[in-house]
Every structure is written in C-alpha cells, then in structure tokens.
Amino acid sequence: METTIERATKIVKQGGFKLTKQRKSLLELLAENYQRYIDLTDLDGKMRELYPKMSYTTVYRNIREFSNLGLVEEQQHDGKTEVKFQCDDLHQHHHHFICNRCGKVQELEMCPLNFFEEQIPGSTITGHQFELYGLCAECTMKATN
C-alpha cells in the first residue's frame, strides 16, 4: 500500500516539480503533524534548522505550490497563516472541528452550504469556509476531571 509521503511525492512530480531534498523534508514535516495546523512561521523555522541557507521565500513558495496541488490546506487564525497537510484525494472539499486546547483537527463529514443557500435565494455563492472550534473529547474529559 502506498504511504502518504509516496502519494504526495507522486503528486509533486505529476505537478511538474522536482522532488528536492527540501521539498521532501517539508512534506515529511507536514505529514508528521497531519492532525494539526502549523503556524507557517514555525514551519519556516523548522525548515531553516534543517537547511540553514534556505531562504524565507523558498518555504513560502513551496507551501503555495503544495497548496495549488491540493497537498496543503491554509487558514488564517489570529492574524497568522497556518497550514495543514492534506493528502486525501477522496475528501478535497471538507470542513473542520479544531480543538482550542491541543490543536487537533477533525474532518467534518457534511458541508452546511445547502442550508445557507436556501436562506439567500437568487444569490450566487462563489466560495466559503466553515470551521468549528471548541474542546475535543480528550480535552473535554481532562477539563472535567
């Protein structure tokens, strides 16, 4: 069975990009944290620890390329850009529940767009984002004990 990294590297190559050591390391860092959004500045710092001569723009350019290829999801949170690994071809369009305490991300099965479309007849929706925030089951149990 093909691993997540193998599938991601195939997508990078099919997208017309060379699989450099830096790109592979970036994919591995993202895959290690697949259940969480990572602050892009923190990710940049980790990459520069591995590759001290790597430029600031290289990390951001690669993240943008990965995003265009569907390998990375981006969100803005508290004025910062956060990224999360996405290598699930079956669930390209999805939404999240994000734990405020541990940062764990859970995919939601349903998109609520139909509910909102019914409330604004005649309008054309051109895009949307939907995320829920709170405490995951583990953090809720810890908070009540």
Binding residues for Fe cation: 93, 128
Candidates 80, 78, 134; CA nearest to 105 is 134
**Side chain identity at 66, as an amino acid letter?**
F
Point out the annotated binding site. Answer: 93, 99, 102, 128, 136, 139
Structure tokens at 24: 């592979």
User: Which residues are CB-neighbours of 145 under 8 A, at least 6 positions away?
Assistant: none
Name the one residue in this structure whose structure tokens are 């908070």. 143
Contact 60/40 with Cβ under 8 angstroms? yes
Binding residues for Zn(2+): 99, 102, 136, 139
Strands 95-99 and 131-134: parallel
